[in-house]
Chain A
């Protein structure tokens, strides 16, 4: 079945193919033939006219009865055939049982507002058709019926949460439904409907039979778990509530999807180029050639490339985008719509954007306990970069942390701090919490007790220090190179990572669940960890890099990491990962919450400009540490959101989750609502008024078969009777 456009009449009888009812007009054919033949008579002179008159007089009643009987049978054949091809179904078990008057019902109208409901055909979008259908149901309902109205979304919302009888109110709410560009959370939504119904039933003194009508396109990827045979939640749902599923989707729609847009990095230095890769997916049956893919930077086209698309497959297209201007930029991949309107029924997913940041240079603050303690780290983070892109850095002593303005530094590198205390720790924690990045080397000089006491309540490391390990040659465990820090070493076992000399390191305890272990040591704990705290990140090297084995110092030798070839790429990757991670929050999915810090101790006005141009004042909340943050919840639509704070503007890119599958077929829906092995039970339970209704397909199939069998029997009877009545002149 390509599309389910069901017509359900108030009495509970409906037709799945309403337009096929036109066949009923064929019922006048026998009458027309009868009248036509009667007009086309021949004239014959006849001698035995008296004998004929007697025969006609004697046989007139019989002949008239036979004629009416045959006319009735022939008309019935055509009427029943017309009804059969219109695929009737019984909308309600009560009407089938022939009750004289149906009791008042509680209609629970659940309209899916996933963005895929925006698929557009000649009849409008799926949502428009669903709203129209729901409006019909409301108008056709009894005056005593009441209604609940929900939009199945993420989260699901009740537009009418208490039963109302005012049809005007329901129709007005239906007209006001808008389509966000998010994918509905079906299990959560059905759970919400379930709980709402429970509440309504408990609060309503007058018990009404509830009928849930779900109007959706039943997109497979979104409904997969819900419709899963024998385990899907829809089966349990329909077992509790009389449910009608009305689908507006088709298994194989026509659509071009910008499936993904990725950059090799989303943070760069001015003058660098960013490699952009877009994946284009074609949903449908027919191949397309020379489909233009447009890449734009800040709404200016920078590339346009035609590609060939094969149904069911992704096509990759790659571009290089040079960025010179410092600031945040929006890179967008899109399919120009106009020439593709006929093959792209859904425009929402034909575009995808991404925010990247271009910095003039990196600002790094090195904190030392001793002079030149961080020299190797300075070299590692600045080597290999052209002079114009070299990081801007400063080296301070530990004690200067208290007096320095840390906000101007994007990264603080502190290596094996000996003179650390609680106020300094608190300063670092605040820095990280507000979005700063910290690389921390923990070595022989690190006072474990001070650290553990300082981070006991607000742990921005993600663990507590235990004791130093035994001294031995620990082997590096790359942890399957799954971390972005170790990915550059994948396939290069001789690049130095695996042979990094580590003799001693800190063991950790009470690790946080969110602690990321990037590099480990075989038969021991982690060597490099990362942890997001607040809006910033902390990376810990549990064996602080030491440049030399200075015998004049009393410190024992823990490692030779800083002199090893893997050190420079490892440190630069850690640095890059911070900015990559920081930029991730500028790229979000529809429906997620955008948030940011207010860099002042008092709440200031933060304004957001939505993709549709609307300006909204953002909500600010005070954090547990006393700082303030802003939150943007209205991210239901894809596009670029610009947040303005104190004269500065920052772009956020919000994209929808691409859907590359069609809708569930009738079979899927029927199997899900009534699994085949439970079909008998469901049919038996259908007899009672409060149990699950069989899906229309099941009943339609049975009814159609019965009607067609009746048509066959009537055809046989017509032939026999016509022959018997002397219609067949030999």
Chain B
């Protein structure tokens, strides 16, 4: 994969990845395209060119091997037959599993984007990179069950389809808000539906705040692992949710149909932060158990920092 190179490209065009800059751009199609143009601009400036075949190692020739793979230059130097082996170039099929429940609409005081807006951008950017190297990217949005399914494709128009689907989701959510229909989350049900419908193993990138029960999260990841999917969890949280920076009596309004809570946040701030850290650690443990990659995203952080981090770490875990 060439994704680790893209990380360097992203770093050179950071202005396109700043959440505050992106938040000022409407609608999503334009916002996502701005982000992608940032990626493209970075690639154009790069002297590197992507290659579909990456050299892996040399191996001694044994009878039966394809003689077209013999490295004649090595033979000329050492008078021995060595095969030049390349990494296998299988077509990657990647599904972005995006949570569209009410809790993902939350945007804290220090974040320019809501959690959903943030993961939409991340999904679009990664999907563009994937399709640009001829791999397939697909999109599944879910809340209580799967809301929409965009089959994986390496088509150039797949990026536009991503944006279109997200826009449709926004319209649906607005309608739900108007009719006061609560959008709750049921990750295991959505995953179960997904693995039932998708037989071929794929890379599944879950974009969610995972604020449901840990048991549900464990079950969902377990289902994906058993179905042979490679799982990456982009655990997306708002900065306020992580640091709880409140200093006066507050009525916390419950989302997804949960009742409100009124409390003085100062005495419990430390305990909340500890609980949140514990929650993240528990998720990490579950991911490790299910051989899934875990990335924590803070919606206040720049995508210019988050995307390379995801790509670089994903690259390392792939090698391992």
A726 touches B250 (CB 8 A): no
Contact flags B228-265 to A (C-beta < 8 A → 1, else 0): 00000000001001000111111111110011011110
In whole angstroms, what is the CA distance A51 to B209 when docked? 12
A56, CB-defined interface residue at 8 Å: yes
Q: Which residues of B contact A53 (CB under 8 A)?
A: 261
Q: Which of B25-63 contact A (CB under 8 A)?
A: none
Question: Which residues of B lie under 8 Å from residue A727 when comparing CB positions?
Answer: 266-267
- Cβ-defined contact, B271 with A51, below 8 A: no
Contact in complex: B267, A63 (CB < 8 Å):
yes
> Taking chain B's interface residues, is the majority helix, strand, or loop, or is none over half, making it mixed?
mixed
**Alpha-carbon separation in the docked complex, A48 to B249 (Å):** 17
A85 to B209, CA, bound (A): 57
A44 interfacial by beta-carbon distance below 8 Å: yes
Residues of chain A within 8 A (CB-CB) of B247 are: 729
CB pair B241 A48 closer than 8 Å: yes
Of listed A38, A44, A47, A67, residue having the most chain B CB within 10 A: A47
List chain B residues, Cβ under 8 A from A62.
267
Interface string of A46-87 (1 = CB under 8 A from B): 111111111110110011001100000000000000000000
Q: Is the CB of A55 within 8 A of B268?
A: yes
- A725 at interface, CB cutoff 8 A: yes
Chain A residues within an 8 Å CB radius of B259: 49
* Interface status of B223 (Cβ within 8 A of chain A): no
* A45 in contact (CB, < 8 A): yes
Which residues of B have CB within 8 Å of A726? Answer: 266-270
| Residues in B whose Cβ lies below 8 Å from that of A172 | none
Across the interface, do B255 and A49 meet the contact criterion of CB distance under 8 Å?
yes
B261 touches A59 (CB 8 A): no
* Total cross-chain contacts (CB, 8 A): 100
Q: Tell yes or no: A551 within 8 A of B by CB.
A: no
Q: Is A43 an interface residue (CB 8 A)?
A: yes
Quick check: is B276 within 8 A (CB to CB) of the other chain? Answer: yes
Q: Does B72 contact A (CB under 8 A)?
A: no
Chain A, interface SS category: helix
Per-residue B-contact encoding for A401-414, CB less than 8 Å = 1, 0 else:
00000000000000
Does B181 belong to the interface (CB within 8 Å)? no
- Docked Cα-Cα span, A48 to B277, in Å, equals 13
Please tell me the size bucket of the interface on B: 35 or more
Q: What's the Cα separation between A54 and B274 when bound, in Å?
A: 12
Across the interface, which residues of B come within 8 angstroms of A37, CB to CB?
248-249, 264
**B198 interface hit (Cβ, 8 Å):** no
State the Cβ distance, A47 to closest chain B Cβ, in Å: 4
Contact check, A49 vs B252: say whether CB atoms are below 8 A apart.
yes
A58 to B279, CA, bound (A): 15
| With A37-B249, A55-B271, A726-B270 as contacts: A50 and B258 at CB distance below 8 Å | yes
Q: How far is the CA of A42 from the CA of B104 in the complex (A)?
A: 21
The reply to whether the CB of B106 lies closer than 8 angstroms to some CB of chain A is yes
Chain A residue with Cβ nearest B252? A46
Chain A, range 1-46, C-beta contacts under 8 Å to B:
37-38, 40-46
- The reply to whether A56 and B250 contact each other, CB–CB distance below 8 Å, is no
B272: Cβ under 8 A from any A Cβ: yes
Decide if A42 touches B241 in the complex (CB within 8 Å).
no
Binding site for A on B (CB under 8 A): 102-104, 106, 115, 209, 211, 238, 241, 245-255, 258-259, 261-264, 266-272, 275-276, 279
List, sorted by A's number, 13 A–B pairs whose CB atoms are closer than 8 Å.
A37-B248, A41-B262, A42-B250, A44-B251, A44-B252, A47-B211, A47-B255, A49-B252, A49-B254, A52-B263, A56-B261, A62-B267, A729-B245
